[in-house]
Each structure stands twice: as C-alpha cells, then as structure tokens.
Structure 1
C-alpha cells in the first residue's frame, strides 16, 4: 500500500525546473535536453541546451551514444519530457531525468 501512495504522490508532485537546473550546473559532463519542437526551441530555449523533439527521441543514440551520461530533460510543461525520459530509459539511458517545463523557468531564454 505504501508504494501505491508513493506513486500517486509522485504523479502530483511539481517538478521545479529552476532547482533542477542548479543540479545540472553542478553535474560535470551533464547534458541539458529540450524535447520541444524545433520551432518552439527556436522561439526561446535555455542556454546550453540541445534540441531533440520528443517525436524524434530515437535520434538520441546518434547524438548521445553514452547511455551513462546524465541527461536533464525539459519541454514546455514537463509532459513531453516525461514521455521522452520513459523512452530513453527503454533504450537503456540510466541517468535521464525529467526536470519539468520551461514555462516555469525564471532565467533568460536564448533565441
């Protein structure tokens, strides 16, 4: 019963992209991955991020071949990032983390 409650609680837990970006910055060799569309990425993204849209996430194996790389994944609200992380874990990426959505980001966006 405890695992069920823990799982339900995590469904409603808000992921703070700003706190997670501090962890990204403190993690050597980590990658910041934006899984929004190319158009969304061009309209403004977090500095230092790379873009692989969630629908093209299988391309990750060409761009990030090391499955042990720490990858911090964001999108607009966190939903696509969650889907991307799930797919990445199925591909064997052990350290992919959904850090939420750029909608809550408090820093400057790069155009």
Structure 2
C-alpha cells in the first residue's frame, strides 16, 4: 500500500514539474492573442490529416505531431511557431519536441481548434 501511495505521489510531482518546465518555453495564448500574431508566424495544425480536412484555421499547414520528427525541415527556427490541435495536448507534445530541437518562440492556442471562433477553411 505504501508503495502504491509513493508511486502516485511521484507521478503527481513529475506531472507538476513537467507542466512548470513547459511554461518556460511554451506560451499558451488566448484566441485574441493567437489571432494577433499567427499571420506573422508559422501556423501549424498538428492534428491528423483527416481532422485537418474536416476544417482548419485559414492559412495553417498540417504537420501531424506523429510526423513532426520527420518533417522538422519544414519548420524554420528563425520565425515564431504557432501550434494548435483539437484541444491542446498534442500541440504541447509538438512544442516539447520542437523545444528539444532548438526552437525558441513556441506558442499554442488555448483550448485548441474546438474553441476557435475565427475563419475556418474546409
């Protein structure tokens, strides 16, 4: 029983530390903040192609998080990167990968595409 409690506490501590570390390199932006900057940045939808085809933010490129490592050459390090997915978890994973590869200006849409009220392309 004590081992189970210790493991649970360790998992919680790990999750909190990971979240705090993520905040150092990934900015989570409101829709208004996101809209202000994404036209001057690289707008990347990290959802899968079938999700992208059902609707995406106008001007976005589809680079699924599952293909991100293989497609890093498509993402410039000298320009801000604006990421989004359906709800925010995949864009956070993509940002973690990009951060490890040396990308500095990383931003994600708070709440993801499901909360987006701006222009959409189908």
- The normalised TM-score by structure 2 is 0.70
Please state if 1:23 is matched with 2:28.
no
Aligned-residue offset at 1:22:
1.6
- Equivalences for residues 51-66 of structure 1 within 5 A: 51-64=62-75, 66=76
Q: Which runs of at least 4 in structure 1 moved beyond 3 Å after TM superposition?
A: none
Whose radius of gyration is greater, 1 or 2?
2
- Counterpart mapping for 1:10-89 below 5 A: 15-25=29-39, 27=40, 30-64=41-75, 66-89=76-99
Q: What stretches of structure 2 of length at least 5 have no aligned partner?
A: 1-16
8 Å contact from structure 1 (residues 52, 59) kept in 2: no
Which moved further from structure 2: 69-78 or 98-107?
98-107
RMSD between aligned alpha carbons? Answer: 1.9
In structure 2, how many angstroms separate the alpha carbons of the residues matched to 1:87 and 1:51? 16
The answer as to whether partners of 1:73 and 1:99 remain within 8 angstroms in 2 is: yes
Note if contact 2:29-2:107 (Cα within 8 Å) is conserved in structure 1.
Answer: no
Gaps of 5+ in 1: none
Flag the 1:70–1:89 CA change in 2: closer, same or farther, 3 A: same
Q: Deviations over 1:65-102 (max 9, x none)?
A: x3122110000001100110011000111112122301
